[in-house]
Amino acid sequence: MRLGVLDIGSNTGHLLVVDAHGGAAPMPASSYKEPLRLAEHLDADGAVSELGIAALTTFVGEALELAEDKGCEEIYAFATSAVRDSVNADTVLEHVFKHTGARIKVLAGEDEARLTFLAVRRWFGWSSGRLGVFDIGGGSLEIAGGAAEAPDVAWSLPLGAGRLARTWFRDGSPDEEGLRDLRRSIRADIAREAGSMLRGGPLDHAVATSKTFRSLSRICGAAPSSEGLFVRRMLQADVLESWLPKLVEMTHDEIASLPGVSLDRAHQVVAGAFVASAVFDIFDISELEICPWALREGIILDRLDKLSVLG
């Protein structure tokens, strides 16, 4: 069957159209995305601005039209932290429904982590053993770990690269003391719940998903996307640490010129690098393998599993 997954993220709106069948990997048929940057359309009260609502509504309408053109039988629309954490989420979703007919489900952070874990488990399989999954989004960091298809632990933290960039880098890069405060704050937030995963024992396989981790891996020397999905891509802790002080000194244009970095996300790279560095240290990880599947694929696989049970 042909499915459409409409992902309203903190940075980007993304429609992924796939041909999906039980027992087979979802095959991408079409993709459409726009840099909505909803996390940066929040006002001082934490509400999505009128400009942000208008951009989201336009994107959803265009995405639904494309999904119809591509013959989608079903469309699953969901939103993550930017909408989830906004004080006017109900107003935003009602406006989108009124003008497009799309009912968008708001995913809880724990569900986001759980579904991403499912996608990573299916990609790498049982040979990964005890698996740890880390995903830096625009608004949040998702962490999950376990030895089965469902994680033993899964949680979400407000440590997305876009959110941190907006909070800490709004007026340019902080001074040395400000960067130290940022580093300390990130690590304290992650460490607060880290024991829930660490108590399960060491990870056999540590994996990262998301555009932020992919960009950092490219900066640190991983293969470009043009080499295909099945090339092994790693992010090494020591290489990232050598890059971190250089990234702090770069302008947004200089960062955007690095491999794997787009201009619209360049301002988030330093914040994302601080989060990735904290993950390495707190979970005692020396490297993360980059997985091409993430939340959207997890949504699709979960749906196929449910159809299989019903069938």
Range of the domain at 237: 109-295
Domain boundary among 43, 74, 107: 107
Beta carbons within 8 Å of 186's beta carbon, 6+ residues apart: 159, 164, 274, 275, 278
For residue 19, the model assigns a pLDDT of 95
Interhelix angle 211-219/237-249, rounded to 10 degrees, is 90
Cα–Cα distance measured from residue 160 to residue 138, given in angstroms and rounded to the nearest whole number? 4
Cα–Cα distance measured from residue 251 to residue 57, given in angstroms and rounded to the nearest whole number? 33
306 in a domain, yes or no? no
Number of helices (H), then strands (E), in the chain: 11, 11
* Same domain membership, residue 176 and residue 251: yes
311 in a domain, yes or no? no
Rounded to two decimals, what is the model's pTM? 0.95
219 in a domain, yes or no? yes
Counted domains in the chain: 2
Low-confidence ranges of the chain (pLDDT < 70): 309-311
* Same domain membership, residue 115 and residue 101: no
Cα–Cα distance measured from residue 218 to residue 148, given in angstroms and rounded to the nearest whole number? 30
Tens of pLDDT, residues 65-114: 999 999 999 999 999 999 999 999 999 999 999 999 999 999 999 999 99
Q: Are 86 and 92 in contact (CB under 8 A)?
A: yes
Q: Both tokens of residue 91?
A: 């107003």
* Same domain membership, residue 129 and residue 28: no
* Same domain membership, residue 16 and residue 32: yes
* Same domain membership, residue 69 and residue 175: no
Cα–Cα distance measured from residue 48 to residue 28, given in angstroms and rounded to the nearest whole number? 31
* Same domain membership, residue 90 and residue 22: yes
CB atoms within 10 A of CB 42: 21
Tens of pLDDT, residues 41-66: 888 899 999 999 999 999 999 999 99
Q: Radius of gyration over alpha carbons of the chain, in Å?
A: 19
Whichever domain contains 76, its CATH number is: 3.30.420.40
